[in-house]
Structure 1
Amino acid sequence: MQVSKLPIFFSHVSDALYNAPDEVRRLFHGRGRVYPGLEQITCDWVDSQLLINVFKPVEEAFIEALKAGIDTLSQTDSWCAKGVTCAAIQHRYLDGAPLEVVFGELNDKPIVIESGLKYQLNIGRNQNFGLFLDMRLGRDWVKSHASNKRVLNLFSYTCGFSVAAIEGGATQVVNVDMARASLNKGRDNHRLNGQNLSQVKFLAYDIFKSWGKIRKLGPYDLVVIDPPSFQKGSFALSKDYIRILRRLPELLAERGKVLACVNSPQVSGDFLITSMQEAAPQIGYQSRLDNPAEFSDIDSDAALKVMLFEHHPETT
């Protein structure tokens, strides 16, 4: 990355900050490669805090210029108008992704709002703080299409899709994730929103060893699949995704929908379409959801792909 490009970063952050809603938001997305020389930096607005992530090693001069720019930004009208309480840099390229506070005092467990729903975050303990902001429109879609639906949420993480589904009127959501700690955070997210936990199940399962148990709780009107691109020992997108798609016909109700996601820049949206045609031809492709405008990317196939499918068993 280039020190000479940091004025562009701060200009965009200042404008985005001034116009930011009172919700969690990405303010600058260098990883979309729209801003040459700033490809490995992002900035998020999180409960009156600016969280800047640097993803690849940079020269010390870059970090020093970044800190100086934060100091200058702290004296602007945008900063004062929004009441910024903290600015921090997370060095994602270092072991443990350490967080360096450069202004104010960090609230490492903020409760944030997205589309009117509350989520508990955990900043600085992990690379990800508990909510993937590029999936905002996916959660919005689920909320608006969940009424009276039974929903299966695979790789549920902290259950953002589940919270959105219950808010949208889902009758039941089944969350499946190997990480019990993430499911516990998901349970907290449901409680934050005053939702009825009797409508929600939290299954700390290895999906590939638990299809029978998952199937018994169906059939499902909507299945959400949002896996990691790679998880050592448990999931490799290129070979394991199709194993999930093959199971969908036995999980879905007639006309049931699938929201399938891929967030690897090496895999295009066509991967999901062709894999579905091969694994479950009775489940047809419908459309691709837009990503939030703040996540603009010079290559749509390198960005998050959120694809919608529908089950038509009569086509088998």
Structure 2
Amino acid sequence: MQPIFDAIYSGLNESSVDAKRLFHGRGHCYDGLEFINVDLLPPVVFITLYNEIDLAQLKVLVDFTARHQQVEGVLVQHRYKKGAPSEVFYGNVPDSLDIVEAGLIYQICPGQKLNSGFFLDMSEGRQWVRLNSRNTKVLNLFAYTCGFSVAAMAGGAAQVVNLDMSRGALERGRENHRLNNQDMSRVRFLPYELFRSWGRLKKMGPFERIIIDPPSFQKGSFVASKDYQRVLKRLPELLSSPAQVLLCLNDPATGPEFLIDLMKEHCPDARYFKRLSNPETFPERYDDRGLKVLVFNYQKSEVSADQP
């Protein structure tokens, strides 16, 4: 457990006010500690357990964390239990928190559902969008709580369209934009199923930036292994030329070649440019198992342009 204590001590003594991962056991860089992640969601520390551990051991970890002055609450989520229940082990944990990343504010609800409403490992993706959206029209597919949209607007996007089946997630997305005092007249929120919405999206396009960040497996909604190609086949219908596409996938069983090969086969005018690095606080022993965030540059070819 010592690496966890060391990471918590180091992370809680930094001057940054940003939310961040303190310890990433799921990256398999610490033998025997693959069962635990620890996040700082100021002023709350959020411990995620993927296996049951001895209660006395957990209390030692919570007591150590609670000694730090900035920590007002410690929440533990038991992912190994049905429904992934959470319980407060120390102090006060409000139903919702406003956290900060790179100067932007996001509302989260830690412990209320499987996910809090914000993925810390996607910080480099949000930063890329922020730096590459000025004066562009952006389409954010599988938008969830619209973190990419907030980043795009902060980077000067002309317009952002967010599409997600969950009205509740999009409502949180609206709140995230309001928290950052962004111009809501330039942001659209579409609570629709993607494959039934192509006509609507085509009318709103074309887009100079498209972000695709689907769940790797969501029964009845999207299964990456069979549905990602369905999106990429029709991607040119939505793209301006030139344009850039950000493809994301968080499936440890699938490497980046999966997305590169799919794009080459189904949207060959989009050329692979680079993979964004994951945050240093998310170390991975096996790089291909970690989050994949890939940038593609799209330029409509003369052959494609001449096709009927």
TM-score bracket for this pair, using the shorter chain length: over 0.9
**Contact kept in structure 1, 2:65 and 2:71, CA below 8 Å:** no
Counterpart selection for 2:222 from 225, 235, 241: 235
> Structure 1: which 4+ aligned runs deviate by more than 4 Å?
none
SS of residue paired to 2:22: strand
Q: Which amino acid aligns with 2:61?
A: G
Aligned residues: CA RMSD: 1.1
2:48 corresponds to which residue? 53
Output the CA distance in 2 between the equivalents of 1:259 and 1:53. Answer: 28
Output the CA distance in 1 between the equivalents of 2:84 and 2:93. Answer: 16
How many residue pairs align between the two structures? Answer: 303
Q: Which amino acid aligns with 1:168?
A: G
**Contact kept in structure 1, 2:49 and 2:76, CA below 8 Å:** yes
1:3 corresponds to which residue? none
Q: Deviation per CA, 1:76-108: give whole Å up to 9, x if none.
A: xxx13xx21011211111122211211111122
Output the CA distance in 2 between the equivalents of 1:97 and 1:198. Answer: 38
1:157-236 matched pairs, under 5 angstroms: 157-236=144-223
Output the CA distance in 2 between the equivalents of 1:203 and 1:69. Answer: 43
Output the CA distance in 1 between the equivalents of 2:128 and 2:193. Answer: 27
Deviates more, 1:139-148 or 1:10-19: 10-19
1:261 corresponds to which residue? 248
1:14 corresponds to which residue? 9
**Contact kept in structure 1, 2:66 and 2:73, CA below 8 Å:** no
Unaligned runs of 5+ in 2: none
Output the CA distance in 2 between the equivalents of 1:64 and 1:7. Answer: 15
Q: Which amino acid aligns with 1:178?
A: M
1:100-119 matched pairs, under 5 angstroms: 100-119=87-106
1:86 corresponds to which residue? 73
**Contact kept in structure 1, 2:270 and 2:298, CA below 8 Å:** yes
Q: Which amino acid aligns with 1:65?
A: Q
Is 1:95 the counterpart of 2:82 in the alignment? yes
- Deviation for aligned residue 1:74: 3.1
- Deviation for aligned residue 1:244: 0.5
Unaligned runs of 5+ in 1: 1-5
1:68 corresponds to which residue? 60
TM-score normalized with structure 2 length: 0.96
2:127 corresponds to which residue? 140
Output the CA distance in 1 between the equivalents of 2:20 and 2:282. Answer: 10
SS of residue paired to 2:281: helix
Change in 2 beyond 3 A, CA 1:73/1:158:
closer
Q: Which amino acid aligns with 2:137?
A: R
2:231 corresponds to which residue? 244
Output the CA distance in 2 between the equivalents of 1:66 and 1:10. Answer: 12
TM-score normalized with structure 1 length: 0.93
Q: Deviation per CA, 1:131-190: give whole Å up to 9, x if none.
A: 100000100110111100000000000000000001111011000000011001001100
- Deviation for aligned residue 1:255: 1.2
- Deviation for aligned residue 1:8: 2.4
Question: Equivalent pairs: percent with the same residue?
Answer: 46
- Deviation for aligned residue 1:20: 5.7
Q: Which amino acid aligns with 2:256?
A: G
